[in-house]
Structure 1
């Protein structure tokens, strides 16, 4: 019996929200509609599509005899159209290859006959080594040693399940003058990220008071309801730790290009125009890093790639992580900006400071009129 709902997505439960229903060996459908990041968004959050299509790839390897699945080795997707939040996603799977150690899947994601995303998922038997080469020259970000308790940093919880924590250096590039000596492609952004799930029984959201400086330097206080990681339930099925990586990997990436370019949060000030609080991105920073770009440029993901570095379903080699309770450090660079395209590459480290995933994304970055004149051009 199918349990597919076109109604409201039960947002608090990550696993239920992304659950898929198997129609046959090559067709799946989302149990619920996927949600927009915010009401005014033109389509659903891209991380939802990434996560659910990755889940379909994993589920397509499930053995009926043992109920075992293969773990993802890499994920490669291309966004075609923005999805709507009125109809569950449909998935058509082509089984490209299967043997005892490796499976390859091509998946077309659609709604009502309109393609939204295509992806290729490569999976391997748990306990086997990754098929790709890990960049061992990337050290764990300093943010992990500088802030052993990310809960004390600025926090946002947004787009249903994503949570991020960031420091004052992220808010104000003038605190890191050493960056001015670097080409923009060499500058790093480092934040913490994770996933909030159903609260533990009896746990409540904390009322957290915080303050951020606006673009003219005035401290602006505000209050948020925060679900602390320790008060968030772990996913019941550990495979959702991998799915959760897909979910959070798109929560903040090319949308933070303004920070790398040292563009003022209110670029009108650099153009000698009147300061308007409604056009100050620090106000967006209070609620989501995924929307941080909207006053500066139009950011749109074109393709998204993830390389998973774990060897086991539930790793015991120090690479384990609990996507709902741990703070992962996400450190990344904008490696290329040309002709309205931006290419970002980043690395996620678990609390043992071991790299668990590499993420790459290419997208559009169409700067609004006049914004480019406010960028720090000394090292572009």
Structure 2
């Protein structure tokens, strides 16, 4: 039986039609293409033009236009550099001949060297927290006039801090939060699959820390939210089908933009990836 995770991974594994040209499709239920999908599909396209022993270590991207989920996305890969230790690829995603997204991705031959990391913060275990699926099922039953149940989803999310969707004006706090995430199923041992899935996840929940000091959330009807740019660094090999705590904060919001930073830790406290993003927060 095909699971929701299988469908997601198949969607992110885009079609190659030429050496540096790829075609991606989108689920049709959202009004616009999810930013994490374009990030992951672009990474997948670039990975397939690079020698297998080279591992993605950083990605820097800009979201230029909203993507239409009813139309295919064309990914053009530019093989900018193939060096002895590092490889760089530039990817432009287009619809109707216009760029909707671009990114530069760097790959490295594995090397050893000095290692250190920030200590992982102490948060409640994911099993002690209510999942998004259970929360939205309960909210739809208690407030059927305001909320719909969340459909089955390929990514499990258990927030440490959940917004108050009933009274956002009373829900103001410091600009940091955290959420446990994992793929809802088993993915095998291919690192490329796990990096692709984590790239998809990295655009989830991040903006929440920029909203916390304000009486707003992602369901506020008088607000417009959109990712503007996105940077991702892979520090160590990881498994996206095991629980990862996504810790993020927002040092500043100004000019209708919220800046956020995030870090992914394993349950054992290993820092595996870091993220930075600026997002539109327009009234």
| TM bucket normalised to smaller | 0.7 to 0.9
Aligned length: 257
SS of 1:302's equivalent in the other structure is strand
Change (3 A) 1:128 1:21: farther
Corresponding residue for 2:146? none
Q: Is the 8 A contact 1:56 1:91 kept in 2?
A: yes
Q: Which ranges in structure 1 are unaligned for 5 or more consecutive residues?
A: 1-8, 63-67, 173-178, 197-231, 266-280, 282-291, 316-320, 368-380
- Deviation (angstroms), 1:12: 3.9
CA RMSD of aligned residues (A): 2.7
Corresponding residue for 2:169? none
- Give the TM-score taking structure 1 as reference length: 0.61
- Give the TM-score taking structure 2 as reference length: 0.81
CA distance in 1 between counterparts of 2:5 and 2:261 reads 30
CA distance in 2 between counterparts of 1:301 and 1:239 reads 24
Change (3 A) 1:333 1:293: farther
* Equivalent of 2:21 in 10, 27, 47: 27
SS of 1:54's equivalent in the other structure is helix
Q: Deviations over 1:262-295 (max 9, x none)?
A: 52x6xxxxxxxxxxxxxxx6xxxxxxxxxx3434
- Deviation (angstroms), 1:85: 1.6
Q: Which ranges in structure 2 are unaligned for 5 or more consecutive residues?
A: 134-149, 165-171
Corresponding residue for 2:159? 166
Bigger Rg, which one: 1
* Equivalent of 1:303 in 219, 226, 229: 229
* Equivalent of 1:250 in 203, 217, 221: 203
- Deviation (angstroms), 1:343: 0.6
SS of 1:261's equivalent in the other structure is coil
CA distance in 1 between counterparts of 2:208 and 2:258 reads 10
Matches for 1:203-282 after TM superposition, within 5 Å: 232-235=185-188, 237-258=190-211, 260-261=212-213, 263=215
CA distance in 1 between counterparts of 2:274 and 2:219 reads 23
Matches for 1:111-122 after TM superposition, within 5 Å: 111-122=95-106
Corresponding residue for 1:92? 76
CA distance in 2 between counterparts of 1:165 and 1:296 reads 26
Tell me if 1:353 matches 2:269: yes
